[in-house]
Structure 1
Amino acid sequence: MFTHIDDSGRARVVDVSGKDDVVRIARAEGVIYLKESTVDAIRENRVAKGNVLNTATVAGILAAKKTSELIPMCHPLQISSVSVDFELLENGVRAACEVKYVGKTGVEMEALVGVTTALLTVWDMVKSLEKDEGGQYPVTRISDVRVVEKVKREK
């Protein structure tokens, strides 16, 4: 179901019950920029809070499944699968989240919530390594979050 604003300015949910169920896939990605020494600590599993990428994977999957609880106009979906993948860069971590579903609406928001939560989890786990003497984060930033692929095809 989709939401739109009608002529009176009220939010309305568009009825999509007449649409056929189709396979929906969305892939979103983003990057968290970090100090090179922090990337090395992630690679070597030397972060005090534990395995950063495993934890961020679980967080991203859980978040994608809970998207409708976080974004008011998103409807609960019976997601078929969620995957979260990472690429260690010289100066950060690229994350990607892919969500699959069979139904009447897309899963872009689920993929975006999954990838951003994974990136936020990375930040949380490495923040002690990223802070400067004043407790600030001069290098750390999340950037380039976007939907990189959207697929809609018959079952």
Structure 2
Amino acid sequence: MHKTRKSSASEQTRDTDIDGGDGFTHLSGDGSARMVDVTAKAPTVRSATAEATVLVAPPVLAALTGGSVPKGDVWAIARIAGIQAAKKCSELLPLAHVIGIHGATVDFEVREDHIRILATARTADRTGVEMEALTAASVAGLAMVDMVKGLDRSVELTGIKLLEKTGGRSGAWRREDHL
């Protein structure tokens, strides 16, 4: 069981620093979890794109592309679920910052045996949107699985990864194998 103790004034001051004292940004000096204080950072334009893959059997792919999935419009439901998820990321991940999502898209690429989901989140804020993009791609994929699982219980959500990000102190980053 984790015991909590009252922090001294000097520890509370140190807890607002970027580094928790031992090189860990999300741990305070006494080892407890904390959200990094980003209030001193200037807002900058940031974006991130993530992907997820839904593996489907040929009959499910045919139902998806033919619009005959019994539960309805899978594409619309998955898209809205992903956009909603990007906006609610901080409610799902305990140490994620509440940031304004100023733009979010969820797109689909139909491939031979899978659906590729591409989710992009954009903001002008103090911290990045990588987790928001990853959450959007993941939840869009989960919504798609939910919509087609009655047709094939072996449908699989996989390959959730960050493809690229821009903005912030670290600048642009792009996955080397990203096409």
TM score, norm. by length of structure 1: 0.89
Contact 2:127 2:168 in 1 (8 A): no
Identity %: 38
Number of aligned residue pairs: 147
Partners of 1:82 and 1:34 in 2: how far apart?
Answer: 25
Q: Deviations over 1:68-106 (max 9, x none)?
A: 111111122111110000001111110011000001100
Contact 2:82 2:136 in 1 (8 A): yes
Bigger RCO (CA 8 Å, 6+ sep): 1
SS of the residue corresponding to residue 57 of structure 1 reads: helix
1:42 aligns with 2:39: no
2:165 matched to which residue of 1? 150
Shift of 1:153: 6.0
Counterparts of residues 60-139 of structure 1 (less than 5 Å): 60-131=82-153, 137=154
SS of the residue corresponding to residue 146 of structure 2 reads: helix
2:40 matched to which residue of 1? 18
RMSD of aligned residue pairs (Cα, Å) = 1.8
TM score, norm. by length of structure 2: 0.77
2:80 matched to which residue of 1? 58
SS of the residue corresponding to residue 13 of structure 1 reads: coil
Query: Going by fraction, where is strand more abundant, 1 or 2?
Result: 1
Q: Deviations over 1:14-45 (max 9, x none)?
A: 22222211101010001010101101110000
SS of the residue corresponding to residue 26 of structure 2 reads: strand
Runs of at least 5 residues in structure 1 that lack an aligned partner in the other structure: 132-136
Partners of 1:13 and 1:67 in 2: how far apart?
Answer: 14
Runs of at least 5 residues in structure 2 that lack an aligned partner in the other structure: 1-15, 19-24, 170-179
Q: 1:53 corresponds to which letter in structure 2?
A: W
1:7 matched to which residue of 2? 29
Shift of 1:13: 2.6
Partners of 1:13 and 1:92 in 2: how far apart?
Answer: 37
